[in-house]
């Protein structure tokens, strides 16, 4: 479970831009001598800046025993630095009526800030010191570890969170960083020195990209970035991104995790997905839109087994898998697995129609055209996931050009009915008669995740 740390979230700027709907945003790209890449995008009329620093490091970079270190490092950036103590930093942010926050996922870390143009000098000074000169105080980091363990105890988690955690475990295994999850004995061993070392190795100019969105003077902002970040020299000086091969799933496998007194059962099916930014990704999103509708119409609408069922493809995590999740009444848990198999096979066999494709296209295009905030715009142009900003500007045209035959080939590739890993979470004392109907079911104790391979 990822944790997002924020200081103050105010000044959420909502602006509209016809040029973005047409895919014609003014963009300037440049690179500093140390390798730091910067993109400046003009958007809206409010004299303000939204800036995000993307660091190419996340859970994928964690070695055995380092679980949660990427998130702990990113959140610790806000604990004070060489120029500003934690209190001084919070006071500056409050005085500016601004906000600064950090987050880390499987792939990358973000440090984001929003401020008015008139406050750019003070805001950018703080922003650069947070990124370049953190201090990682020992006691504060210990408190963060304690809070993380208190709020992420598997014995106290809801069934949805448990299913998600164990889906990663069974899909990737503990030999892969995405399959490992933090636990008390392991996390309590991480020291502030380890956090500092992880930072030094991964937070480098060549491993970092910055995006600015707003209505500002390009020359002034470019000069400011060069002044503040131009002398950033990394201890290792490399691009330290991590990449791992994603294992295929060749058959149906079922896993069960007990949650005493659970009033419902959570089911989470996991299947292979394309990489974000690949040529298959948009085709898959169109197919998945239709699959989502079919799942809802059949399992929710006709059969009434659940209030909702969703097939999720998380491009940000870019894990190579997508998942279908739902929560159902305990008495229909097994029946739901049968229904899912039927719907998945139906979708694989019949594919989607032209009218379904047209509807899916409109949904994706409207999602893109309806972006109205700089923060969402930064996400759309995420430089870690999408290398070519011009291709992102052609997103709508790309969707329009896709054919029914192309999408149905993707259905055959990614919606195969005979391969997935399904995790069920619920009360074993209630579900046991149904669980006995599932061939080769593997029962996993909560302590299964307490491994470092």
Instruction: Report residue 249: phi and psi, to 5°.
Output: -115, 120
What tokens does 437 get?
């109907």
pLDDT tens by residue, 239-263: 565 666 777 899 999 999 999 999 9
Instruction: Return d(Cα 5, Cα 443) in angstroms, integer.
Output: 35
Average pLDDT over residues 197-215: 96
177-194 residues labelled b (16+ CB within 10 A) or e (exposed): bbbbbbbeebbeebebeb
Helix, strand, coil abundance in the chain, percent, nearest 5: 45, 20, 35
CATH class, range 5-229: alpha beta
HEC string for 187-217: HCCCCHHHHHHHHHHHCCHHHEEEEEEECCC
Instruction: Report residue 152: phi and psi, to 5°.
Output: -130, 40
What tokens does 213 get?
């969105």
* Residue carrying the six token digits 């198999």: 341
- Say whether pLDDT at 208 is over 50: yes
Which of 147-151, 206-210, 281-285 bottoms out in mean pLDDT, i.e. has the lowest?
147-151
Q: Is 416 exposed, middle or buried (0-12, 13-18, 19+ CB in 10 A)?
A: middle
Q: Predicted confidence band at 27 (pLDDT cuts at 50, 70, 90)?
A: confident
Q: What is the pLDDT of residue 6?
A: 37
- Say whether pLDDT at 120 is over 90: yes
Instruction: Return d(Cα 329, Cα 331) in angstroms, integer.
Output: 6
- Say whether pLDDT at 416 is over 50: yes
CATH of 252-449, one of 3.30.830.10, 3.40.50.1360, 3.40.50.1970, 1.10.10.60: 3.30.830.10
* Residue carrying the six token digits 């001084």: 88
Q: DSSP strand E in 87-216: where?
A: 99-104, 109-116, 208-214
Mean pLDDT of the chain: 91
Instruction: Return d(Cα 133, Cα 146) in angstroms, integer.
Output: 24
What tokens does 419 get?
């391969």
Instruction: Return d(Cα 63, Cα 175) in angstroms, integer.
Output: 9
Which of 134-138, 312-316, 357-361 bottoms out in mean pLDDT, i.e. has the lowest?
312-316
Q: What is the pLDDT of residue 4?
A: 39
Q: Which residues contact 275 (CB under 8 A, 6 or more apart)?
A: 281, 318, 320
Q: What is the pLDDT of residue 240?
A: 63
What percent of the chain has pLDDT above 70? 93
Q: What is the pLDDT of residue 239?
A: 59
Average pLDDT over residues 137-141: 96
- For residue 73, which of 193, 244, 229 has the smallest C-alpha distance? 193
Write out the residue limits of the CATH 3.30.830.10 domain(s) in the chain: 5-229, 252-449
Q: What is the pLDDT of residue 253?
A: 97
- Say whether pLDDT at 13 is over 70: no
Q: What is the pLDDT of residue 5?
A: 39
pLDDT tens by residue, 61-91: 999 999 999 999 999 999 999 999 999 999 9
DSSP string, 17-50: -HHHHTT---EEEEE-TTS-EEEEEE-SSSSEEE
Q: What is the pLDDT of residue 248?
A: 83
- Say whether pLDDT at 125 is over 60: yes
Q: What is the pLDDT of residue 153?
A: 84
- For residue 306, which of 280, 286, 330 has the smallest C-alpha distance? 330
Q: Predicted confidence band at 450 (pLDDT cuts at 50, 70, 90)?
A: very high
């Amino acid at each position: 479970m990822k944790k997002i740390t924020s200081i103050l979230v105010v000044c959420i700027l909502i602006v509209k831009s016809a040029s973005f709907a047409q895919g014609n945003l003014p963009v300037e790209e440049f690179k500093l001598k140390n390798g730091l890449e910067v993109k400046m995008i003009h958007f809206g009329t409010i004299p303000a800046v939204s800036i995000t620093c993307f660091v190419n490091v996340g859970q994928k970079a964690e070695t055995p025993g380092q679980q949660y270190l990427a998130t702990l490092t990113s959140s610790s950036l806000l604990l004070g630095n060489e120029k500003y103590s934690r209190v001084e930093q919070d006071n500056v942010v409050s005085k500016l009526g601004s906000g600064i926050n950090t987050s880390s996922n499987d792939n990358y870390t973000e440090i984001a800030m929003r401020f008015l143009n008139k406050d750019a000098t003070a805001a950018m000074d703080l922003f650069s010191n947070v990124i370049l000169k953190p201090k990682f105080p020992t006691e504060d980091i210990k408190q963060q570890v304690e809070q993380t363990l208190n709020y992420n105890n598997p014995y106290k988690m809801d069934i949805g969170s448990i299913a998600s955690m164990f889906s990663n475990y069974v899909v990737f295994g503990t030999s892969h960083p995405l399959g490992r999850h933090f636990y008390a004995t392991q996390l309590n061993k991480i020291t502030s020195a380890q956090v500092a070392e992880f930072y030094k190795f991964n937070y480098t100019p060549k491993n970092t990209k910055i995006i600015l969105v707003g209505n500002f003077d390009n020359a002034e902002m470019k000069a400011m970035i060069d002044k503040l970040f131009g002398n950033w020299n990394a201890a290792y000086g490399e691009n330290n991104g991590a990449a791992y091969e994603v294992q295929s799933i060749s058959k149906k496998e079922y896993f069960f995790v007990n949650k005493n007194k659970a009033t419902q059962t959570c089911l989470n099916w996991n299947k292979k997905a394309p990489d974000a930014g690949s040529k298959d990704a948009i085709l898959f999103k169109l197919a998945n839109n239709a699959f989502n509708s079919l799942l809802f119409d059949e399992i929710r609408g006709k059969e009434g087994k659940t209030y909702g069922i969703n097939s999720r493809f998380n491009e940000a995590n870019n894990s190579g898998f997508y998942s279908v999740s739902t929560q159902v009444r305990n008495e229909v848990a097994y029946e739901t697995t049968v229904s899912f198999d039927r719907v998945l096979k139906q979708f694989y066999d019949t594919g989607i129609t032209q009218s379904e494709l047209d509807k899916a296209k409109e949904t994706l295009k409207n999602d893109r055209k309806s972006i109205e905030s700089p923060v969402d715009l930064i996400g759309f142009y995420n430089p870690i996931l999408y290398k070519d900003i011009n291709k992102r500007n052609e997103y709508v045209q790309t969707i329009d050009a896709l054919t029914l035959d192309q999408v149905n080939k993707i259905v055959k590739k990614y919606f195969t009915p005979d391969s997935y890993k399904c995790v069920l979470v619920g009360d074993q004392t209630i579900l046991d008669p149904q669980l006995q109907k599932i061939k080769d079911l593997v029962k996993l104790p909560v302590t299964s995740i307490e491994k470092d391979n």
